[in-house]
């Protein structure tokens, strides 16, 4: 059983290295074109990296677990719960880092107004709305689509005045005060669920006392 795990672990490690190389190329591309001020392409590349990064890290972790053979000691239900908690926590951290990055860049504020609502429908035919905000900087008019939507009464109404933060060097890069607040709320919720879920899953996967004795036996065998 361990030999099969080692074999599949090696295959997964090779696949992980290929994915890591592709991810590096995707990440390196936007960093090179950022000097051309192509905001859409840069943000698209960064978003792909943020989505694929935990998958690649998980593939590496799984390959090393298979190669080492320690998977035979794991409780798979606990491992699944821990993985879910890690994913929730990662999403929460993404909200925090993305929000902080936008906050550092968009340092100047102005007043805009909600000019429209964008209607969106999911696979279950549930409708949500995203505010479309119009603001003016140095006589130039810009339009900003909100990052967070909801029911029609849960978002700023058409005609409402709203504060907009923008990049003084590139005013089209902006964020509304509504999105800043929602980003913090989502980060708190994901972390509040993710961290306890990860710790509980880790305890189910392998009790700390058992983990201690396994690590102790491993170190004694290595340094004997």
Maximal C-alpha separation, the chain: 75
Specify whether the CB–CB gap between 175 and 49 falls below 8 A.
Answer: no
Specify whether the CB–CB gap between 215 and 68 falls below 8 A.
Answer: no
Task: Kindly list the strands in the beta sheet with 108-121, ordered across the sheet, starting from the edge strand earlier in the chain.
Answer: 140-145, 127-137, 108-121, 161-167, 170-176
Where along the chain do its domains lie? 2-104+181-223, 106-176
pLDDT in tens, 103-139: 899 999 999 999 999 888 877 778 889 999 999 999 9
| Residue range 188-192: mean pLDDT, rounded | 93
Q: Is the pLDDT of residue 32 over 50?
A: no
Domain 106-176 class, CATH top level: mainly beta
pTM: 0.66
């Amino acid at each position: 059983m361990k030999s099969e795990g080692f074999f599949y672990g090696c295959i997964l490690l090779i696949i992980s290295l290929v994915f890591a190389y592709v991810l590096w190329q995707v990440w390196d591309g936007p960093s090179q074109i950022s000097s051309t001020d192509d905001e859409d392409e840069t943000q698209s590349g960064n978003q792909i990296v943020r989505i694929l990064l935990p998958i690649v890290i998980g593939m590496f972790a799984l390959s090393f677990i298979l190669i080492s053979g320690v998977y035979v000691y794991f409780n798979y239900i606990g491992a699944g719960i821990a993985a879910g908690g890690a994913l929730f926590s990662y999403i929460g951290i993404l909200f925090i880092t993305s929000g902080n990055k936008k906050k550092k860049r968009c340092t100047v504020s102005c007043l805009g107004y909600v000019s429209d609502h964008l209607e969106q429908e999911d696979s279950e035919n549930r409708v949500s709305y995203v505010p479309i905000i119009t603001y003016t900087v140095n006589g130039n008019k810009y339009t900003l689509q909100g990052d967070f939507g909801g029911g029609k009464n849960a978002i700023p109404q058409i005609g409402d005045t709203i504060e907009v933060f923008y990049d003084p060097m590139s005013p089209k890069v902006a964020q509304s005060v509504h999105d800043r607040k929602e980003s913090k709320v989502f980060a708190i919720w994901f972390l509040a669920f993710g961290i306890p879920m990860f710790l509980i899953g880790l305890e189910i996967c392998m009790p700390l006392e058992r983990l201690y004795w396994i690590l102790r036996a491993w170190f004694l065998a290595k340094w004997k």
